[in-house]
Amino acid sequence: MEKLVDRFLKYVKIDTQSNESSETYPSTPSQLEFSKLLAEEISEIGLKDVHLDKNGYLMATLPANIKEHVPVIGFIAHVDTSPDFTGKNVNPKIFDNYFGKNLLLNEKKNIMLSPREFPLLNNYIGQPIIATDGTTLLGADNKAGIAEILTAMEVLIQNPDIKHGTIKIAFTPDEEIGRGANKFDVKKFGADFAFTVDGGPIGELEYENFNAASAKISIQGRNVHPGTAKNRMKNSMRIAQELDNMLPQNEKPEYTEAYEGFYHLTEFNGTVDHTKVSYIIRDHDKDEFMKKKDLLVKIVDHLNIKYGKGTVKLIMVDQYYNMREKIEPVFHIIELVIKAMNEAGVTPKVKPIRGGTDGARLSYMGLPCPNIFTGGHNFHSRYEFIPIRAMEKAVKVIVKIVEINARQKQN
């Protein structure tokens, strides 16, 4: 486990933020450079069939050490970090024994990690915690997952008495900008099912996520001098406001939780003459998801009747769907993880993802792929932290998953 922390600290210092405005694969060259370093490390550990393609998808195999045929399990993590907050010049700090009070991340800027603002810190009193210096994100999302997967593979290689079937690993680019599964070759990967190691606090197990759509709306107004505007002006910004007010006001991210869906206004740019707005639409329930999309279409149709045909134009695109539909027929893989967590001394916390995951798209591409924890908290922010013991438990759960998979077949 000593290498686990060393790996993680080395990885987070490499800036691999993805870039949504880029049209290349991967979206930033630093991701490919990082994957090249990982490919060398994977080969040194002893994995086989190491392959990094031009799009930044890195795959490798740990061959089985048993003769019996058991399902091939995959483990997946992503190399990019979020563009939501800077990931340049990450300076991780280890607090050896969290004492239950404010952690001073940066003395010059007086940046604190406070249990008052983040009460879950109190779960880790007496434990070592890795955080940032308060000026960048940490990058545990998802470099903790990479470090945990590779450490688990090394444990298996160095302990051949732990019996296992064939294991596949993959590290992908651009998950944070929704492209991580775009060019993933499921057939080449060759797993019967897989797990993204990309979740949050210890024990998290997720096999439900939002159904998701994006909506881009353009509104054409009519700008005339305000002194002579009566019955002539069409203020496109006010029409956009009217549209937003016609949506259910309690179905916004700031008013919803658990299985509740929402409309989220993500962009508003306009003048009197022309306005563009963007929304994302989310709901775990497929029927409610369809109703949300239908309502937006009806609102647009109503405004076009009121203000004139072509005033409001809507482009709506489905982004991903709830993986539960694909996981339920193979629910034994969820039972496998729950058993592995219990044997590793981790309490399973099954919860829905209020977001998306590469695993959701991969599940619809034929690779059932729920999500398990890394141990991290406060992703995408200066307050990101991860307890070292949670990372160690993630490694043990990965090892237990493959061990139980082989053991069940042998029994």
Strand 93-95's sheet: what is its strand order?
93-95, 129-131, 385-387
DSSP 62: E
Using CA atoms, how far apart are residues 364 and 181, in angstroms rounded to an integer? 11
**DSSP SS3 for 286:** helix
Asked if residues 265 and 276 have their Cβ atoms less than 8 Å apart, the reply is no
Q: Which residue has the tokens 């800036």?
A: 15
| Cα–Cα nearest to 206, from 338, 401, 71 | 338
Which one-letter amino acid corresponds to residue 16?
T
| Cα–Cα nearest to 61, from 402, 293, 389 | 402
- Determine if residue 167 is left, alpha or beta; phi over 0 gives left, psi from -120 to 50 gives alpha, anything else beta: beta
| Cα–Cα nearest to 73, from 202, 175, 164 | 164
DSSP 234: B
Using CA atoms, how far apart are residues 49 and 61, in angstroms rounded to an integer? 6
Using CA atoms, how far apart are residues 128 and 385, in angstroms rounded to an integer? 11
Which one-letter amino acid corresponds to residue 282?
R
80 carries an active-site annotation: yes
339 contacts: CB under 8 Å, gap ≥ 6: 400, 404
For residue 75 the two structure tokens come to: 């483990």
Catalytic residue, chosen from 133, 175, 208, 384, is 175
Torsion (CA) 80, 86, 87, 89 in degrees, nearest 10: 160
176 carries an active-site annotation: no
Active-site positions read 80, 175
